[in-house]
Structure formats: structure tokens, C-alpha cells
Structure 1
Amino acid sequence: MLAEQEVIEIAKDYIKKLSQKWEIELTIAEKRSIQKEYGVMFYFNSKKFVEDKIEKAKLIGCSPFLVDNKTGKIIVFGTNRSIDYYIQEYEAGRWPDITRLSDLE
């Protein structure tokens, strides 16, 4: 099992690569992270929105994602339903095990 700091580093690396692809500075909204026994779910958005609270800098389509603490895999969720829906689907084994990290390389 990965240590919490390792999970966080995987999440930060994912966001760094996504920032480069999108050509905008992104950051994790750490206060919104959700700890689960199987990993940590992260939210992110533009740095200007998360840190500086500039509403017009808010991005749409920033899908929350989970870093599995056993494998280090990134599982990307959607944005059109509640987070509880995605958690329930993942826990029931109905959410596809997809990582978009490979799309960024």
C-alpha cells in the first residue's frame, strides 16, 4: 500500500501533466479531497480559482479523480453527477478502471 504522501505526489504529477496539456496552471483543491480506505479522491481547477478565489477563472470539466493507494492508478470520474454516485459506482465495481495519464504523455 502506498503512503499518503506517495498518493499525493501521484496526484500532483497528474495535475502537472494536465496543466501542460491544457496550457493553464492547475492545482489540487486540497481541502476538498476525500479520503477512502482504497485511496484519495481529488478535485482540481485553475490555480487562480482554487487559491485566489477568482470566480471568472473557474474551469468547467475538471473531473475529480481517485488515486488508488494499492496500485497508484488514477481513476477519472465525471462531472455530471454527484460525487456520491461516482463513489458508489466505483465501490460496486461498476466504474471503468480508466486512467488518462497515458493520454498526457
Structure 2
Amino acid sequence: MLTDKKMQQIAERYLQKIGEGSIEAIIYSDDTIKSPMIIFILMGEFKYSLGGNVPFLVEKETGRVITFGTAGILEDYIKAYERKTLYRTLDRYWYPDEDRFNYQ
């Protein structure tokens, strides 16, 4: 299991990745939801967001980043993640150790 600090670092690396290193990423603790299995990042105000304000989570066991969509209700995406029924997209999952995106 990863520590909260390590998960925060992965989240910051992910934001740098999608921002192409053009901006300094800062995640405020008020914009974070923690559970035993994940750290979930809320992107906050749209005008300050990267990547279209897409919410994402970092898995505590693997460090894998899972992105959600913006067309649906956030709680529905979280429930689909928990049920393992998220629909596939080519860039849904980011593997920080390999710096690659994948659909699974």
C-alpha cells in the first residue's frame, strides 16, 4: 500500500503529464477525498483546471491513475469504478512507473 504522501506525488506527476510540464501543479488537501483504497482528486474551479476539469483517482495499492469523464454524474463514475464496470477508453488508466496510458 502506498502512503498518502506517495499518492499525492503520483497525482502531481499525473497533472504535470497532462499539462505537458507547462504549469506547476498544486493539489490542495480540501480538494482530496481519501478512502482505504484510493485517493480521489477533485479538480476545483474550472478556470484553474487542467485537462478539461477531468476528475481522477489514484489507487492506493498500485498507484495507477484512473480518469473519469465529465459528461456524467461523478458519483456514477465512482460507483462504476467500484463495480469494475467503467467503460473502456484508450487513456482511462495511467501507469506512473511506466509512464504510459492504457485502456485497462
Show the 5 A alignment for 1:1-105: 1-20=1-20, 23-44=22-43, 57-59=47-49, 61-96=52-87, 98-100=92-94, 102=100
| TM-score calculated relative to the size of structure 2 | 0.71
**SS of corresponding position for 1:12:** helix
Larger radius of gyration: 1
1:78 counterpart SS class: coil
Provide the C-alpha distance between the structure 2 equivalents of 1:29 and 1:82, rounded to a whole number of angstroms: 22
Structure 2 stretches of 5 or more lacking a match? none
- Structure 1 gap ranges (5+): 50-54
TM-superposed CA distance for 1:80, in Å, is 1.6
Q: Flag the structure with higher helix content.
A: 1
Provide the rounded CA distance (Å) in 2 between the counterparts of 1:7 and 1:24.
20
After TM superposition, where is structure 1 displaced by more than 3 Å over at least 4 residues in a row?
23-27, 57-60
Whether the 8 Å contact between 2:12 and 2:25 is mirrored in structure 1 is no
**In the comparison of the two structures, how many residue pairs are matched?**
93
Offset at residue 38 of structure 1 (A): 1.2
Deviation of the 1:13 alpha carbon: 0.8
Cα root mean square deviation, aligned: 2.6
Q: TM-score, normalized by length of structure 1?
A: 0.71
CA distance, structure 1, for counterparts of residue 87 and residue 26 of structure 2 = 25
Distance 1:79 1:40 in 2: 18
Query: What is the DSSP-based 3-state SS (H/G/I as helix, E as strand, rest coil) of the residue aligned with 1:75?
Result: strand
Pick closer, same or farther for the CA change 1:3–1:58 going to 2, 3 Å. closer
Identity of aligned residues (%): 27
